Structure 1
Amino acid sequence: MTFFTDSLPLYLNGAWYTLLITLGGCALAFVISMVVGIVGAMRNPWALAAATVYVEVFRGVAALVLMFWLFYAMPLVTGYRLEPVFAAILALGLNVGAYGAENVRGAINAVPKAQYEATIALNFSAFQRMRRCILPQAWAQMLPTFGNLAIELMKGSAVVSLIAVSDITFVAQQLRTFSGETLLAFASALVMYFVIAQLIVFFVRMAERRANRRLGRLPAPAKPSWVARALISAGREKEGAA
């Protein structure tokens, strides 16, 4: 118990860096996903080629190697060294954004063709067609995969300790070295990663319910509890006796 109370401030500081990298990487990945995914869904061959090149390049490169290249190799080329946190956000965002772009493209293509035809019949512009009809329907399909990608990005942030970012994994390694409590050090890290993952799941599910509600996909009404059923039954018996 003493280990947890003494090390809690260090783990909270590490959790702050993990959250910062996760949120920054998710924001970058989301922007890239939407832009590249929408471009990839176009019929223009040049736009499709550009989106395909980005997806294949960054989906085929390991995030750890990309992060090492940005932090260690790029200064040799440009003479400018990125901050460790920014290099981590950039590497994870570029990598996960390639997977997210395929998610966006697939969700857009999954919208029924009749919806496109209806927007053309209503004389919508291409921008209006995408913003007011296609994206709202595709958004509900994108969210579950976006949630999974956000969790994968958060777990992937554990490698940022290799470029001296004091995240949760870095704190666990330091505590293991100085205290010798390997089991407790990494068990605490596992618990903190699990808690952060559950927070991501909670917010993604809230977004899913909101998206489905706006599309009219409301869940089936919950069954009344036994108390409610008893009250309803008593009320009906009273009405029958009257």
Structure 2
Amino acid sequence: MTGNASLIDYLPFLLQGIPVTLEVTFYAMLLAMPVSVILALGRGSQWRAARWSAGFVIETFRGTSALIQLFWAFYVLPFFGINLPPLAAGVLVLGLNEGSYFSEVVRGALGSIMAGQREAAIALHLPRRYRFFRIMLPQALPIMIPPFGNALVGMLKFSALVSLVTIQDLSFRAGLIRTSLGESGPIFAITLVLYFIMAVMAAFLVKLLERWVNRRAGREVGPLFASQRAMTTIPAWALGAK
């Protein structure tokens, strides 16, 4: 069997790693988003303990190697009686890392909301949870979508780290094929193209999401997203107006 035929025979095995890569990316981002919001709120909290706790988590994950964190989660935690499956360890480390970085995006987006709107909501004695979910967060979402696209593509590429803890993603399977064939160039070239295709598709989907969110926000909130002029009125939809 020729080298090319052998590589072609291995392609179905390689492609089976794509769903695993997408699964890791999806679950890691699913964890990263709420973590980023919690850390952003903690960093901007009026309580010192919350600020320090959020700051500690953020700086820990941003200031240490993700690879070492992954090894700790998978190889060291079992010594303390915590046994995480490979997928759980990978998702946990990747999600907390991305959540720590993206928390600054969330904090900046929430901080960009006009102070007058926050003050007006407080003056109307709206509950804090209501102010956040119905006034602050909906207006911050369109600001966060473009950085979210960058984070998603980055996570897709970053997910290759989980191949080091025996998760059979695209990179892991590429390594097995390389070992079997004794060739690096062709298999890693194909793997590179597959990652590129997935990244382009992810960026395209986020672009569609961004357009949908902007259209919806523009229809509901009106001039707030059309310009950045100071506004002190709270959108009528946030107050439950018909």
Q: State the TM-score bracket (shorter-chain normalisation).
A: 0.7 to 0.9
Q: Alignment partner for residue 163 of structure 1, among 161, 165, 185?
A: 165
User: Which blocks of at least 5 consecutive residues in structure 2 are unaligned?
Assistant: 227-242
Q: Does 1:183 align with 2:193?
A: no
Q: Alignment partner for residue 137 of structure 2, among 119, 128, 135?
A: 135
Structure 1, residues 30-81: CA drift from partner, whole Å, max 9, x if none? 1211222223233232222221111111111211110000111111122x43
Q: Alignment partner for residue 94 of structure 1, among 93, 96, 106?
A: 96
Q: Alignment partner for residue 50 of structure 1, among 49, 53, 57?
A: 53
User: Which blocks of at least 5 consecutive residues in structure 1 are unaligned?
Assistant: 221-242
Q: Within 5 A, what are the aligned runs for 1:1-242?
A: 2=5, 5-78=8-81, 80-216=82-218
SS at match of 1:138: helix
Structure 2 counterpart of 1:157, which letter? S
Structure 1, residues 132-175: CA drift from partner, whole Å, max 9, x if none? 11111111111111221121111111122212221111111111
Contact 1:41 1:109 in 2 (8 A): no
CA distance in 2: counterparts of 1:214 and 1:124, whole angstroms: 24
CA distance in 2: counterparts of 1:112 and 1:211, whole angstroms: 19
SS at match of 2:120: helix
Work out the percentage of aligned pairs sharing the same amino acid: 39
Give the superposition deviation at 1:194.
1.0
Aligned residues: 219
CA gap of 1:108–1:172, structure 2 versus 1, over 3 A, is same
If the length of structure 2 is used for normalisation, what is the TM-score? Answer: 0.83
CA gap of 1:89–1:194, structure 2 versus 1, over 3 A, is same
If the length of structure 1 is used for normalisation, what is the TM-score? Answer: 0.83
CA distance in 2: counterparts of 1:209 and 1:90, whole angstroms: 30
CA RMSD of aligned residues (A): 2.1
- Is 186-195 or 116-125 further displaced after alignment? 116-125
Decide which structure has the larger Cα Rg and report it. Answer: 1
